[in-house]
A = this chain, B = another copy of it.
Amino acid sequence: MKALSQVGKYGLRAILYLVAYPSENSYMSIRQISDELNLSFHFVTKIFRELTAKGILISYRGPSGGVALARPADQIMLIDVVKALEGEDYFDKCLIGLPHCGTAKPCPVHEFWKETKVKIQQNFTETSLASLSEKIRSQEFRLDE
């Protein structure tokens, strides 16, 4: 089940690295992140520009510049990043692609799919980048290879 585009996947991995291995109250360069995760530097740059435009990251140019979280990691939820990269309507899609699928005129799998989306959305809304970064730092969870 391909739930995220490449932009979403790379974006999540990259921002999680940024959160999990923060430079002491300063910016981290995109180059470092893309090198560590073996992702295309240019592609990550493009994705991060989007996250900066959406107010999730802040950036600074020049030597010792880079990117940083715009808010503390416990105040940025998974859902914020996903919606920023995949679109605000991410959880509003009908499984079989009907335009105005809803309670009034549902498709045959509407009810089940709606419940599924609600559960995922709840989890993403409750999960902060901070909680995920702890897992990564604990070495039990990984972001690449």
Contacts and interface: CB of A to CB of B under 8 A. Distances in A.
B93 A144 contact: no
Contacts of A97: 4, 6, 9-10, 13
A17 to B, nearest CB: 11
Contacts of A108: 16, 132, 135-136, 141, 143
Nearest to A120: B116
A64 to B, nearest CB: 28
B145 A132 contact: no
Contacts of A12: 96
A106 interface: yes
Interface string A4-25: 1010011011001000000000
Interface of A: 1-4, 6, 9-10, 12-13, 16, 78, 86, 90-91, 93, 95-100, 105-110, 112, 116-117, 119-120, 123, 127, 132, 135-136, 140-145
